[in-house]
Amino acid sequence: MTIKLGIIGAGRIGRVHADTLRTRVPGAEALAIADIYEASARSAAADFGIPDYSVDPAEIIHSGDIEAVVICSSTDTHCHFISEAARAGKNIFCEKPIAFDLAEIDAALAAVVEAGVQLQIGFNRRFDSNHARIKSAIDGGEIGQPHTLTIISRDPAPPPIDYIKVSGGLMMDMMIHDFDMCRFLLGEVEEIFALADVMVDPAIGEAGDIDTAKVMLRFENGAIGTIENSRQAVYGYDQRVEVFGSGGAVSSGNWHPNAVTVSDAASVRRDLPLNFFMERYMDSYAAEMMAFVEAIRAGETVPVVGNDGRAPVLMAMAGMRSIAEKRPVRLDEVEA
């Protein structure tokens, strides 16, 4: 059975999913792509062999031929498109974050439940082979009872200031992946304490954001976690995870373009890590889309459900409150 999909949003991530659906997802076919910028929609359709394109996302949502919708548009449109697609009876894949407002998220998730459709959130890093192996080591008891979690996530360079102004900030657009990874690996978090500042570019602070942050987390199971983010690591894309437990530790390091070490009289060295998230996580984008399509085909629950999209937003809000109020913040305070 082939699942016929439509894509909303023909920007960078929309193009990634379009290419993935064409080349790496058996049993999937992209029938149309929509973007408010006609040139973007037309170009993506031509580049990825998609039969139809439109400037009106409603044409995707209400097409009788399309069974599932892939939402890759700007964050401020996600809840609207989720609700509309659910009411149209479409299964939904939506990029993160769902929204910046819990009430909007709850309304969209309620629409999904009422319609009885599936919603998967695009936290692709769960599908990375390294992170999956860490998860299996934890679940399989290989390291005993987990005591601490450390996540380091640093970008090679800051995004454009125009993006930062609408992204929701570092905790919503960058650390949100790490908040999700915390839950994926060790379960629910009950308290967050965050310190942050502007250390990379003063323009980021002028735009109302921070570019460097350190967060401590207390998990419901008693484990302690730390997340470190920076908008700029001059040596490349820095992605590391370690979980330490009563019986050992499990960790993953950076990916490099090769495994070569050069040794001479002056130094022992190797090439810099991969320099962009598209290189580091490309396989995980394919894996998450394969999982979505297979779940729809099999009539099973998708692996990253709506609440998995809501919880990291709640964590980001707690982190931002912690920075503002200079104190630990419990997640139930944000819910109140």
Full domain range(s) for residue 270: 128-275+312-335
Specify if 280 maps to a domain.
no
DSSP 8-state symbol, 235: T
Q: What is the mean pLDDT of residues 4-14?
A: 97
Instruction: Tell me, yes or no, whether 153 and 75 share the same domain.
Output: no
Domains contained in the chain, number: 2
Q: What is the mean pLDDT of residues 55-79?
A: 97
Kindly report the number of other CB atoms within 10 A of residue 304's CB atom. Answer: 22
- Tokens standing for 211? 């570019």
Select from 84, 117, 150 the last residue of a domain: 117
Instruction: Tell me, yes or no, whether 135 and 100 share the same domain.
Output: no
pLDDT 10s digits, 96-106: 999 999 999 99
Instruction: Tell me, yes or no, whether 318 and 169 share the same domain.
Output: yes
What is the pTM (predicted TM-score) of this model? 0.96
Q: What is the mean pLDDT of residues 80-93?
A: 98
Specify if 285 maps to a domain.
no
Rounded CA-CA distance 237/202 in Å is 21
Instruction: Tell me, yes or no, whether 62 and 91 share the same domain.
Output: yes
Q: Identify the CATH number of the domain in which residue 84 sits.
A: 3.40.50.720
Specify if 296 maps to a domain.
no
Per-residue pLDDT for 1 more than 90? no
Instruction: Tell me, yes or no, whether 70 and 149 share the same domain.
Output: no
Predicted confidence band at 276 (pLDDT cuts at 50, 70, 90)?
confident
Q: SS3 for 147?
A: strand
Per-residue pLDDT for 279 more than 90? no
Per-residue pLDDT for 243 more than 90? yes
Q: State residue 9 phi and psi, 5-degree precision.
A: 110, 115
DSSP 8-state symbol, 89: T
Specify if 42 maps to a domain.
yes
Share of the chain above pLDDT 70, in %: 100
Select from 93, 117, 141 the last residue of a domain: 117
Select from 92, 117, 142 the last residue of a domain: 117
To the nearest whole number, what is the mean pLDDT of the chain?
Answer: 97
User: What is residue 291's predicted lDDT score, i.e. its pLDDT?
Assistant: 98
Instruction: Tell me, yes or no, whether 136 and 104 share the same domain.
Output: no
Instruction: Tell me, yes or no, whether 54 and 181 share the same domain.
Output: no
Specify if 184 maps to a domain.
yes
First to last CA, the chain: 45
Q: What is the mean pLDDT of residues 60-89?
A: 98
Instruction: Tell me, yes or no, whether 266 and 159 share the same domain.
Output: yes
Specify if 284 maps to a domain.
no
Kindly report the number of other CB atoms within 10 A of residue 112's CB atom. Answer: 21
Instruction: Tell me, yes or no, whether 71 and 184 share the same domain.
Output: no
Which strands, in side-by-side order, build the sheet including 146-154? 248-252, 238-245, 146-154, 224-230, 212-219, 189-197, 329-330
Rounded CA-CA distance 122/20 in Å is 14
Specify if 86 maps to a domain.
yes
Predicted confidence band at 44 (pLDDT cuts at 50, 70, 90)?
very high
Instruction: Tell me, yes or no, whether 107 and 133 share the same domain.
Output: no
Query: For residue 33, what are the contacts with CB-CB under 8 A and spacing of at least 6?
Result: 6, 7, 8, 10, 14, 18, 41, 44, 45, 48, 50, 52, 53, 54, 60
